[in-house]
Structure 1
Amino acid sequence: MARSEIMLVIAQYLRKLPDLERMLGRVKVSFQASGSLALPLISKKMLKQRVKVFGSLVKGLRNGMDLLLLLLKEEQLISSLSKNFKLPELLGSNGLEKFLVQFEAAVDSEFPNYQNRDVTDSEAGMLSVLIELFIEKAAQWGEVIHAINCIDVLRSFAVTASMSCGAMCRPVILPDSKSISFCEGEGGPVLKIKGLWHPFALGENGLPVPNDVFLGEDSDSQHPRTVLLTGPNMGGKSTLLRATCLAVILAQLGCFVPGEKCVLSLADIIFTRLGATDRIMTGESTFFIECTETASVLQNATQDSLVLLDELGRGTSTYDGYAIAYAVFRHLVEKINCRLLFATHYHPLTKEFASHPHVSLQYMACAFKSKPESYSKSDRDLVFLYRLASGACPGSYGLQVATMAGIPEHVVEAASHAGQLMKNSTGESFKSSERRSEFSTLHEEWLKTLVNVSRIRDCNFDDDDVYDTLFCLWHELKSSYESCSSKSR
């Protein structure tokens, strides 16, 4: 048969199958329970349910067995599929096909209306014997069900890859990365996806909007492992984080990935802090849950982890929220050094880490479109481009989004006036934050190291500890310079 015909036949068989794994589990449990209970003690309703489950399991296995026997005739296909599962002996004198035919005949003769049959005492004894004989080959039945499940999953992967509305690619999995610190050289985990898009987030024309996500260094190029992502509300930040997470999960499952090219090192754990929720029954606020989940990230993340944090610190006051976001972000960048996507509306963070060699500033682009018959610069619509751009977002555009949401114009104007007053009152702070972008937190650490070395009395540069410290510092400065040079090119 042609490959398209095989896919169609597989789909037809799979549609007929019940949840065989769950049914086999229920039959096992009923057999174990019947061993400790006398048949007269089992209610008629329970017996009726057991007959229905056992009959459905046998009939479902018949459909599954027919599918496997059909695929056995396609030698090339079954050879590829058998790499993912082990099939027991199906044909022959000891094959499962022979036993299944016997069980099927017993169900048809003893329980013709098994889906809705009131069981007598004699039939209950027969059912007990059939289940006992069936359970003797429970391991082989389990292998058959596992094979069917694998075929179902692989078919779903194939359909996803072939019927997608956007580009799909086969991911390239790199060997496990060794734990490498800043001063030991280049390398470490990589995530490189070109043309990434989310299957459920399409543009206005119904087509995907692709973006490139590069985290970590590889043989072709150098990129920081951290992206500090800004942009307006509804601009696509959370969608980009979700698309990245989905792509990594699909890649590590063995499925094609939404994108033109995907190269990655395996992630040992994926941590996400997305959305906002509370637990009213346990008295846990949104901010408390946010901190709890963030604590799990800080305690368990490794260099090989993928961390996605969305608007950390928004559930409390501005100053407390910014302080928490700053401290968490700095710890993840400088202590854990994992692959990190950090979306935020705290724009001072972009000034704080603008010169950091291990951080890349990017934002979701947007534009303004003039309204028809309007020549005023202030009377324009905000248009989301859903495109990733380099640098920090020029503004938060919160007032424009508020207007789009339907907040009355006079309220938005009052908010604009209040915001301008706040900016004027904190003007010096804004100016200092602008200067701060030229001096990163990593520069502070380098200066502290030099100061500490200079304070050592009778400093002997032949001392191994001092030499190692200075060599490490030299390597960091060299790597930072090379990274900045490649960015400028």
Structure 2
Amino acid sequence: MMTQYLAVKKEHQDCLVFFRMGDFYELFFEDAITASKELDIVLTSRGKTEKDNIPMCGVPHHASENYISRLVKKGFKIAICDQTESAENKSSKLVKREVTRIVTPGTLLEDNLLESKGYNFLMAICDEADSGSFGIAFIDISIGDFFTEAKNIEQLFSAIHKIQPKEILVPERILRNDQISKIIREWKVNPMPDSRFSLRSSMERMKSFFEVTTLKGIADFSESEVCAAGALIDYVLLTQKKELLSLSRPKKLCESEFLEIDPFTRKNLEIFQTMRGEKNGTLISTIDRTSTPMGARLLLMRLMHPLKNALDISERLESVRFFKQHDATRNNLISILKKIPDIERSLSRLLLDRGGPKDLGAVKSALCLLPSIKMIFASHKECWSIPNEISDAISNINSDLGEFSHKLSTAINDELPAFLRDGGVIARGYCEELDELYDTHFKSSELIQRLQEKYAQETKIPNLKIKRNNIIGYYIEVSPSLSSKIPFSFVLRQSLVSGMRYSTQELIEIEQKLNVAYSEAIQLETSIFNGFIEDLRSLTEKIRKIISSLAILDISSAFALLAEENCYTEPVINDSDDFEIIGGRHPVVEQAYKNSYESDFTKNDCDLSKKKLWLITGPNMAGKSTFLRQNALIVLMAHIGCFVPADRAKIGVVDHLFSRVGASDDISRGHSTFMVEMIETATIVNHATSKSFVILDEIGRGTATYDGLSLAWSCVEHFALSAKCRTLFATHYHELTELQEIENIACYTLSVREWDDKIVFFHEIIPGSADRSYGLHVARLAGIPTNIIHRAQQVLDRFENRL
């Protein structure tokens, strides 16, 4: 057995090998030492080498997912080595074992290891020789989604942060590039031999896998995209140990289609994660009203890839408008969608032969609900008014799956076991032969009960029991003190302190009949189950279209519900440079106000159609940062096809959304707060165009006053005169208000009133400029002692008198 183990370990040296032995997965040698430490389980030993005991630890097979999950989250790869033949009727005690799967962070399938509303992307990156361009491919095998993108080195950092891959595959040569190494060092990276990324083998691998003679029919991929995608397919086949792997054809994502958001902006706007690393308080948590995991993942994808084509955005908005206008239709649809399980992940597991009865039950439940969805729209009297996006989704849901759906609903029980081996998957009445086998099994169970009653009477031992375990099967148990009453026809099997265990020829015969019937029933159920899997394979594309359509119906109806609940309005999106938001609100802060305060959130207008740069001054805590962020979030929401928190909004499409807000350092990269500020500012200055929307807060505050003022001054001039982008520029440098003489700049401030040596914030944006920052008032509110405030005032007066 150890020779067998060592042979497996030699082939999987970068993995912890989970070696199946009966009801446990065992680990040996260094793997055992590592696992016992990481999982906090007992380290023991079994057998010896020439000198030392062999370290060993193990986990129960039925609870292995939990342990595997913990190890994978710590960055380990796990090779699952299972027994691939039964130990029954073997002359040799050594059974055949093979690695049936390699579990890595990017290849998880189990629901309890995955975030239900998130993606689990595995990414591959490949460079293109002497061109400075890169191909990236990313895939979530738990749902089959597959994408590629072509990027240059500047875009690579942003792309990785946007996709948030759980694991990245790279050719070994890339790691010799210091610039690339710095970009990917914070991620889980798996270097692969360069040969895995060769163009020729990758192209052939893709053509073979997708059964095409040319890739041109799928998309116009760059060479590096082909190499990355081919390496991904190779890796997934290697880890899953499956030839029958079902993946969607890769979709090429083009930069020209999407609004770009750099990592700094994504972080500053707290789209997916707050500055504290939490999900509560983010944009996505605030606007997510989806009813299904598929819809939630589509929302995530839309926030990762906002559109910048006005017609496409308007089509999405039309779908939301439809469900907002027809609230009864929307509410009926949502009530059905809430019942639909995560059919997307269940389908993927079933197609990979890793699904169980509950996964097939999920497919059954989802397909059985489709007629109810069809009825909602079939009964709609104004069918001609249904938007194209919704109409197409309904057409996909009307796909002819009625026969298969009926077959499933007839065959599969509503209450299902976790594993096929537990039986009870196929409903009575579906298969006569299976019913007969179960009848035999259950009759045998009745015979066992009657036999127990008979033996109790014959021996005059009322508490005589017939029990069963996996070691000796059925047995008769009595307490040791009553063993003298047992007849000679009873054969002793085990003597325990708690009881004496016996068997009889009659009990053995009944057990054999029961076991044969049950074993044959399980085999027949398995055969029927596998037949449904084969049917699913032939219907995969139709079902995936249905899944996609359900997600579209979900997100469109969810956005409509969100708009109704929060009085959001439909934005007008066009190809101009318009930017007019009337009565705008911050979606996240407004939600917090509703939950915590009696007062309403203060609305503010923002019109950059004529004066493209607003220079905003005013005290801390007055609401400058909130105003900046709310307009950026309104832009983002509009570009994903969502109604926005405003009374009225008209926005010309934006190509880049930029944000430079707040102060933070990056010690791990050796960057001070001011360096981080300048890096973020440089990104904006170098990439902003006249179609961009930029928000900046406190440029230059991290250095000496005149240095910072000079930098802020020149940046304002650049955005107003050169880039000519729509810009909100907040500052405490009141000297910058002199720039309002430039035609493209307008000065605005936050309304504030002084009263009884205190200040009152109205959080209202008004034309004009502030002549002071009220920093000492804010310090007093924060709890700075009075004596320090008084002294600060004296120093401030002295400095101001000098000026």
Normalization by structure 2: what TM-score? 0.43
Q: Does 1:134 align with 2:440?
A: no
| Residue equivalent to 1:185 | none
| Residue equivalent to 2:341 | 18
**Secondary structure at 2:382 match in 1:** helix
Which structure is richer in relative contact order (CA contacts within 8 A, separation 6 or more)?
Answer: 1
Distance 1:406 1:56, change over 3 A: same
CA separation in 2, counterparts of 1:129 and 1:283? 59
* Code of the aligned partner of 1:113: L
Distance 1:341 1:69, change over 3 A: same
| Residue equivalent to 1:439 | none
| Residue equivalent to 1:485 | none
Q: 2:775 aligns with which of 376, 391, 398?
A: 398
Distance 1:90 1:64, change over 3 A: closer
Q: Please report how far the alpha carbon of residue 56 of structure 1 lies from its aligned counterpart in structure 2 after TM superposition.
A: 2.1
Q: Which has the higher strand share?
A: 2
**Secondary structure at 2:677 match in 1:** helix
CA separation in 1, counterparts of 2:625 and 2:540? 46
Distance 1:26 1:343, change over 3 A: farther
Q: Does 1:97 align with 2:397?
A: no
CA separation in 2, counterparts of 1:149 and 1:356? 48
Q: Does 1:301 align with 2:678?
A: no
Q: 2:789 aligns with which of 409, 412, 421?
A: 412
Q: Please report how far the alpha carbon of residue 265 of structure 1 lies from its aligned counterpart in structure 2 after TM superposition.
A: 0.9
CA separation in 1, counterparts of 2:675 and 2:580? 33
* Code of the aligned partner of 1:103: L
Distance 1:157 1:89, change over 3 A: closer
| Residue equivalent to 1:235 | 622
**How many corresponding residue pairs?**
374
Kindly report which structure 2 residues correspond to 1:36-75, keeping only aligned pairs within 5 A, or say none. 47=354, 50-75=356-381
**Secondary structure at 2:557 match in 1:** helix
Q: Please report how far the alpha carbon of residue 77 of structure 1 lies from its aligned counterpart in structure 2 after TM superposition.
A: 5.6
CA separation in 2, counterparts of 1:70 and 1:254? 23
Distance 1:116 1:310, change over 3 A: farther
Q: Does 1:206 align with 2:599?
A: yes
Q: 1:170 aligns with which of 570, 573, 595?
A: 570
Q: Please report how far the alpha carbon of residue 359 of structure 1 lies from its aligned counterpart in structure 2 after TM superposition.
A: 0.6
CA separation in 1, counterparts of 2:531 and 2:702? 61
| Residue equivalent to 1:447 | none
Distance 1:328 1:66, change over 3 A: same
Distance 1:169 1:337, change over 3 A: same
Distance 1:69 1:283, change over 3 A: farther
Q: 2:679 aligns with which of 289, 292, 300?
A: 292
CA separation in 2, counterparts of 1:22 and 1:320? 55
Q: Does 1:381 align with 2:781?
A: no
Q: Confirm or deny: 8 A CA contact 1:191 1:215 kept in the other structure.
A: yes
CA separation in 2, counterparts of 1:66 and 1:103? 17
Distance 1:299 1:5, change over 3 A: same
| Residue equivalent to 1:484 | none
Tell me the C-alpha RMSD between the 2 structures: 2.8
CA separation in 2, counterparts of 1:66 and 1:390? 55
Q: Please report how far the alpha carbon of residue 80 of structure 1 lies from its aligned counterpart in structure 2 after TM superposition.
A: 1.2
Q: Confirm or deny: 8 A CA contact 1:72 1:78 kept in the other structure.
A: no
Q: Please report how far the alpha carbon of residue 244 of structure 1 lies from its aligned counterpart in structure 2 after TM superposition.
A: 0.9
Unmatched runs of 5 consecutive residues or more in structure 1 = 35-46, 178-188, 217-222, 371-379, 428-489
CA separation in 2, counterparts of 1:260 and 1:348? 34
| Residue equivalent to 1:196 | 584
Q: Confirm or deny: 8 A CA contact 2:699 2:712 kept in the other structure.
A: yes
| Alignment deviations for residues 388-442 of structure 1 (CA, whole Å, 9 cap, x no partner) | 11111121000001101111111111111222222333x1xxxxxxxxxxxxxxx
* Code of the aligned partner of 2:790: E
CA separation in 2, counterparts of 1:21 and 1:365? 51
| Residue equivalent to 1:369 | 755
CA separation in 2, counterparts of 1:285 and 1:22? 43
Q: Please report how far the alpha carbon of residue 291 of structure 1 lies from its aligned counterpart in structure 2 after TM superposition.
A: 2.5
Compare 82-91 and 396-405 and name the one that shifted more.
Answer: 82-91
Q: Does 1:143 align with 2:520?
A: no
* Code of the aligned partner of 1:63: L
Compare 277-286 and 117-126 and name the one that shifted more.
Answer: 117-126
Larger radius of gyration: 2
Q: 1:7 aligns with which of 312, 330, 333?
A: 330
Q: Confirm or deny: 8 A CA contact 2:690 2:724 kept in the other structure.
A: yes
**Secondary structure at 1:316 match in 2:** coil
| Residue equivalent to 1:153 | 555
Distance 1:208 1:55, change over 3 A: same
Q: Please report how far the alpha carbon of residue 82 of structure 1 lies from its aligned counterpart in structure 2 after TM superposition.
A: 4.3
Q: Share of identical aligned residues, percent? A: 30
Q: Please report how far the alpha carbon of residue 79 of structure 1 lies from its aligned counterpart in structure 2 after TM superposition.
A: 4.9
Q: Confirm or deny: 8 A CA contact 2:618 2:773 kept in the other structure.
A: yes
CA separation in 1, counterparts of 2:704 and 2:421? 66
* Code of the aligned partner of 1:95: D
**Secondary structure at 1:257 match in 2:** coil
Q: Confirm or deny: 8 A CA contact 1:89 1:95 kept in the other structure.
A: no
CA separation in 1, counterparts of 2:634 and 2:717? 26
Q: Confirm or deny: 8 A CA contact 2:749 2:766 kept in the other structure.
A: yes
Q: Confirm or deny: 8 A CA contact 2:344 2:547 kept in the other structure.
A: yes
Distance 1:272 1:81, change over 3 A: same
Compare 60-69 and 264-273 and name the one that shifted more.
Answer: 60-69
* Code of the aligned partner of 2:583: G
Distance 1:82 1:19, change over 3 A: farther
Kindly report which structure 2 residues correspond to 1:477-488, keeping only aligned pairs within 5 A, or say none. none
Distance 1:330 1:65, change over 3 A: farther
**Secondary structure at 1:155 match in 2:** helix
Q: Confirm or deny: 8 A CA contact 2:625 2:697 kept in the other structure.
A: yes
CA separation in 1, counterparts of 2:526 and 2:686? 56
Unmatched runs of 5 consecutive residues or more in structure 2 = 1-324, 423-521
**Secondary structure at 2:412 match in 1:** helix
Distance 1:215 1:50, change over 3 A: same
**Secondary structure at 2:741 match in 1:** coil
Q: Please report how far the alpha carbon of residue 123 of structure 1 lies from its aligned counterpart in structure 2 after TM superposition.
A: 5.1
| Residue equivalent to 2:741 | 355
Q: Confirm or deny: 8 A CA contact 1:228 1:359 kept in the other structure.
A: yes
Q: Confirm or deny: 8 A CA contact 1:88 1:143 kept in the other structure.
A: no
Q: Please report how far the alpha carbon of residue 385 of structure 1 lies from its aligned counterpart in structure 2 after TM superposition.
A: 0.6
Q: Confirm or deny: 8 A CA contact 1:272 1:307 kept in the other structure.
A: yes
Q: Confirm or deny: 8 A CA contact 1:88 1:144 kept in the other structure.
A: no
Compare 259-268 and 52-61 and name the one that shifted more.
Answer: 52-61
| Alignment deviations for residues 434-456 of structure 1 (CA, whole Å, 9 cap, x no partner) | xxxxxxxxxxxxxxxxxxxxxxx
Q: Does 1:339 align with 2:750?
A: no
Q: Confirm or deny: 8 A CA contact 2:658 2:693 kept in the other structure.
A: yes
